[in-house]
């Protein structure tokens, strides 16, 4: 039941969508919501405006200010255009790139964006069809553009779409630009202020020529070309999960010298309906079942997937029991960082004074141990690849060399000529790592265990508590207040010794009561507990989905490879106890 004040506010807001300037179909949908006795859809569609989060603009498609449609996309684009005119006022010609994924309405939204930009006098490079998110970032840098937009909702269910805004470095927009864009968007009082009528003479179509350059530059990342050639017949299962990676990722893999790519034909169908999965999220075993079955059938060395916009990667290989198992996002990060550091050292290319890696604050601390042991600088940043890119931008032009960066949510970037997570480069690199391990007489699982024995064992689990809609947003906010005002005193029997609050940018030593500042570029609604036995628990609301996320990480020693399974069982029980203690 909604209170009368809220119903009054959303009804008045909805009435504005019945004015001239909105198309007949939209008006009919809004009118039906107003007339419906059940006001749930009306409230959910109008109780707020879509806002930029860690991944930009994202929401369910439909009519309303809290929905993805040509008007919310149009307002975001006009606001972005207005701000760019201020930010780049000294440029004779502002240039932008526009791309999109395979989702329903993605081409419509992309063309809407291109038209609005061109109507504002911008030179627009519009991709001819669906392309990977990281290729949009690549094109911005390659073509010397000031901004770009990619229409995508990544791995969200089919009802969703989204809008990622990029700046001139090819990275997603960060402060102060994100705040200024929002101000400009909010300043648009009427739909008539949006310049929908495009200028075709300012729109240039991009295609194969960018694909070819992108693939060729990605191949320069290879550190073991001889190994790739020797193991060219490595059995590689790959699925795009109905997304944009279908054509370009096999091309990228083959450019590295691997020619035994095994497809999952049913998932090679590019479709915004994602017909073979409930949700096209490569983090979930359900989305990877067909790839796992194909790996079993062919006895593949490795199975890999990209999500629908081809920025994230999923990895499957055999565990100790000979079963194909989904590798978690933290383990993917460990493998990439371990290989890049170790292989560069083997080749005599590791510059310990200048080389660096980046991870997010919720990603495994074992990566920090690897970096410390190898004498490599590691930077911690907030969740969202825009923050990894921000570190890269700050160090660009110095002697520092970026080796790689990633986050536990299955995204990794091994190159500096793109500024967003990139499966088009990460997937062939993971193939190379599998070949390199094979050359050393190891399976991928053997290599992972070796890392844990060398640098310390850790296990991580992410839990998302979904609370959709207005009531859900209120509940999530209340949960964060409770965790702050009533902090855990112990977790799984171990005393909490340190609490970090990134909203206050303060950390408190529980034993001494000493409070010290946290050095971060901005405030963020993230809370972390650290215990005496090195357990780390991070809590944050999602910036793009109706969720509150918990990241749990436990640590111990692993002395013998044969104890790995027992150690995993111990860790699972401990994490279960932590979940119980947190009430999730």
Q: What's the CA gap between 515 and 501, in Å, rounded?
A: 11
Instruction: For residue 318, give the H/E element and its range.
Output: strand 313-318
HEC letters along 486-508: CCCCEECCEEEEEEEECCCCEEE
- Mark residue 561 as left, alpha or beta (left: phi above 0; alpha: psi -120 to 50; beta: remaining): alpha
Judge contact between 120 and 72, C-beta under 8 A: no
415's CB contacts (< 8 A; 6+ apart) are 217, 218, 221, 422, 425
Q: What's the CA gap between 286 and 278, in Å, rounded?
A: 8
Q: What's the CA gap between 167 and 175, in Å, rounded?
A: 11
- 409 a catalytic residue: no
Q: What's the CA gap between 78 and 467, in Å, rounded?
A: 31
Judge contact between 330 and 447, C-beta under 8 A: no
Alpha helix ranges (H) inside 278-358: 285-298, 329-346
Q: What's the CA gap between 159 and 148, in Å, rounded?
A: 24
Catalytic option among 106, 147, 154, 458: 154
- DSSP-assigned beta bridge partners for residue 380: 359
Q: Measuring CA to CA, which residue among 380, 378, 381, 370 is closest to residue 341?
A: 370
Query: What string of DSSP letters covers 81-112?
Result: HHHHHHHTTT-SS-EEEEEE-SSTTHHHHHHH
Instruction: Tell me which residues are annotated as active site.
Output: 154
């Amino acid at each position: 039941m909604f209170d009368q004040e809220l119903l009054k506010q959303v009804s008045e807001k909805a009435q504005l969508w019945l004015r001239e300037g909105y198309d007949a179909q939209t008006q009919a949908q809004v009118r039906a919501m107003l007339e419906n006795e059940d006001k749930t859809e009306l409230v959910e569609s109008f109780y707020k405006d879509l806002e930029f989060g860690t991944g930009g603009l994202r929401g369910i498609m439909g009519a309303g200010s809290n929905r993805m449609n040509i008007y919310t996309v149009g307002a975001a684009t006009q606001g972005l255009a207005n701000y760019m005119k201020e930010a780049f006022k000294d440029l004779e010609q502002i240039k932008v790139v526009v791309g999109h994924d395979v989702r329903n309405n993605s081409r419509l939204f992309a063309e809407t964006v291109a038209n609005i930009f061109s109507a504002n006098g911008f030179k627009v490079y519009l991709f001819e069809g669906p392309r990977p998110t990281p290729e949009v970032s690549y094109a911005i840098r390659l073509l010397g553009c000031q901004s770009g937009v990619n229409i995508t909702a990544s791995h969200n269910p089919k009802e969703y779409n989204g809008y990622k805004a990029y700046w001139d470095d090819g990275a997603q927009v960060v402060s102060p630009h994100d705040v200024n864009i929002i101000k400009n968007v909010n300043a648009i009082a009427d739909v008539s202020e949006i310049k929908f009528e495009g200028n075709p003479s300012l729109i240039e179509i991009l295609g194969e020529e960018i694909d070819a350059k992108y693939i060729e530059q990605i191949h320069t990342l290879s550190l073991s070309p001889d190994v790739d050639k020797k193991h060219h017949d490595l059995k590689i299962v790959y699925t795009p999960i109905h997304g944009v990676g279908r054509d370009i990722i096999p091309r990228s893999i083959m450019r590295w010298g691997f020619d035994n790519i095994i497809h999952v034909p049913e998932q090679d169908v590019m479709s915004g309906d994602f017909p073979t999965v409930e949700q096209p999220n490569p983090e979930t075993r359900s989305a990877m079942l067909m790839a796992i079955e194909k790996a079993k059938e062919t006895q593949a060395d490795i199975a890999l997937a990209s999500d629908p916009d081809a920025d994230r990667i999923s990895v499957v290989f055999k565990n100790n029991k000979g079963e194909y198992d989904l590798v978690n996002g933290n383990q993917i990060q460990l493998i990439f960082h371990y290989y890049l550091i170790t292989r560069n050292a083997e080749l005599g290319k590791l510059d310990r004074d200048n080389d660096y890696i980046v991870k997010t604050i919720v990603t495994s601390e074992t990566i920090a141990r690897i970096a410390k042991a190898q004498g490599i600088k590691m930077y911690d940043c907030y969740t969202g690849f825009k923050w990894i890119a921000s570190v890269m931008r700050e160090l660009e032009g110095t002697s520092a060399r970026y080796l790689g960066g990633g986050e536990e949510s299955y995204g990794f970037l091994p190159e500096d000529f793109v500024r967003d997570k990139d499966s088009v480069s990460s997937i062939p690199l993971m193939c190379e790592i599998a070949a390199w391990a094979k050359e050393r007489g190891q399976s991928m699982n053997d290599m992972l265990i070796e890392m844990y024995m060398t640098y310390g064992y850790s296990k991580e689990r992410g839990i998302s508590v979904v609370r959709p809609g207005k009531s859900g947003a209120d509940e999530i906010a209340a949960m964060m207040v409770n965790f702050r005002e009533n902090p855990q005193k112990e977790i799984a029997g171990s005393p909490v010794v340190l609490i970090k609050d990134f909203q206050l940018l303060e950390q408190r030593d529980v034993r001494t009561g000493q409070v010290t500042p946290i050095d971060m570029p901005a405030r963020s609604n993230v809370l972390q507990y650290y215990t005496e036995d090195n357990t780390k628990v991070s809590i944050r609301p999602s910036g793009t989905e109706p969720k509150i996320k918990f990241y749990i990480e436990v640590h111990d020693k692993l002395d013998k490879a044969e104890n790995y399974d027992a150690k995993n069982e111990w860790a699972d029980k401990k994490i279960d106890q932590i979940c119980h203690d947190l009430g999730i």
